[in-house]
Amino acid sequence: MARRVQKPATQVTADDVARKLGVSQSTISRAFSMTASISEKMKRRVIDASNALGYQPNVIARSLITRRTNMVAIVMANLVDPFYPVVLDELVQQVQARGFQTLLFVPSPGQPVDDIMPNLLQYQVDAIVLTSATISSAMARTCAARDTPVVSFNRYVPGLQIHAVASDNIAGARQVADYLVSTGHERPAFIAAQRDATTNIDRRHGFMSRLKELGMPACLEEEAGDFSYEAGYAATKRLLRKAKRPDAIFYASDIMAAGGIDAARELGMGVPEDVSIVGYDDVPMAALPCYSLTTIRQPVAEMAKVAIDLLGLADPRGTKSAPAMRTIMGSLITRSSTMNRGTAGAGRKRKAAR
């Protein structure tokens, strides 16, 4: 006996919901929009009626009409560093608060972001946020030609025609130099990360230049190579095994500083008794008792808001603004990974011009 093929049920439309409630179709659309103006009472009525009838808006069909997908792509090349999950959470919250949703793209280790951009652009996203990653000038021009705004978060490329938002890395590093000198440290060192990253370049420059202004002798330096626990750990062991050891180390990031604290302890040194350690970012693990890390806190929530504002998502006309660079001041957070070694450095600081 042949099986009877059941005909699919007729798809419920927004018009069906509108007729049931005696309202316009546009009222139904507004009820499912996070940004449209509609009373909470009417919105609840529409949602209840839609659930009862089995109606669900078709976002893809709507995007064909409006030519907007209401999607923002986030490209995140580093999910291992604990700073970036914090960034991702803040970015998603900011995007969703504006009625948009996110697509996350993660390049393979060492893969240029340009390689994934053609696939990303197929999704017709309304904007792109780059974190811990950069694109080429050619790809920036491609995005501009498509009227797809791009913002780089936490780093920038000089001359690249896209928006950029970062903490003021130079000023933050200068705060670290001031703090270490004012607390009597006389042999500070810097452990650098990825050489071509603007975050590393600016933090190194701010720290070194301020120490020079304060009349400190040449700063010790060790290159870790990247922003990772393992890199910070290995570089610290190399540095602390030298005959002329530092009494304080500033790292280009918190995760590197965490590796540095563990390396110093393995070598039998006390933190901060033998060496003070300072990071940059203020990731959640920095406040753990096992690290209690002095660091520069990046204002991630404010940075994320500024980054999404620059994309112009709230502008219904889709007006695109000229590429802009925004820097936001961070703050020094002191914990027990550093100590006051006396007033030996205070004299130098008083002589320096601020």
- Domains in the chain (CATH in brackets) are 14-57 (1.10.260), 70-167+300-329 (3.40.50.2300), 169-299+332-351 (3.40.50.2300)
Q: Cis bond leading into 85, ω under 30°?
A: no
- Is pLDDT larger for residue 50 or for residue 95? 95
- Is pLDDT larger for residue 148 or for residue 34? 148
Residue 54, pLDDT > 80, answer no
Lowest mean pLDDT of 28-32, 75-79, 117-121, 244-248, name the range: 28-32
Q: For residue 352, what pLDDT is reported?
A: 45
Question: Tens of pLDDT along 184-209?
Answer: 999 999 999 999 899 999 999 999 99
Give, in order, the Cα–Cα distances in Å from 172 to each of 74, 203, 298, 328, 330.
26, 7, 9, 10, 6
Lowest mean pLDDT of 28-42, 227-241, 338-352, name the range: 338-352
Q: For residue 12, what pLDDT is reported?
A: 79
- Is pLDDT larger for residue 53 or for residue 58? 53
Residue 34, pLDDT > 60, answer no
Which of 46-50, 103-107, 257-261 is most confident? 257-261
CA distance 347 to 317: 58
* Amino acid type, 10: T
Residue 31, pLDDT > 80, answer no
The answer for residues whose C-beta is within 8 angstroms of residue 90's C-beta and 6 or more apart is 300, 301, 303, 304
Residue 104 has a CB neighbour count (10 Å cut-off) of: 12
> What would the two tokens of residue 103 be?
């697509």
Residues pairing with 220 in the sheet:
189
Total residues belonging to the chain: 354
CA distance 256 to 237: 12
Q: For residue 60, what pLDDT is reported?
A: 55
Residue 88, pLDDT > 80, answer yes
Lowest mean pLDDT of 36-40, 223-227, 239-243, 255-259, name the range: 36-40
- Give pTM, 2 decimals: 0.81
Q: For residue 348, what pLDDT is reported?
A: 45
Percent of the chain with pLDDT over 90: 63
Q: For residue 115, what pLDDT is reported?
A: 94
Residue 266, pLDDT > 80, answer yes
Contact 162, 258 (CB under 8 A): no
Q: For residue 158, what pLDDT is reported?
A: 86
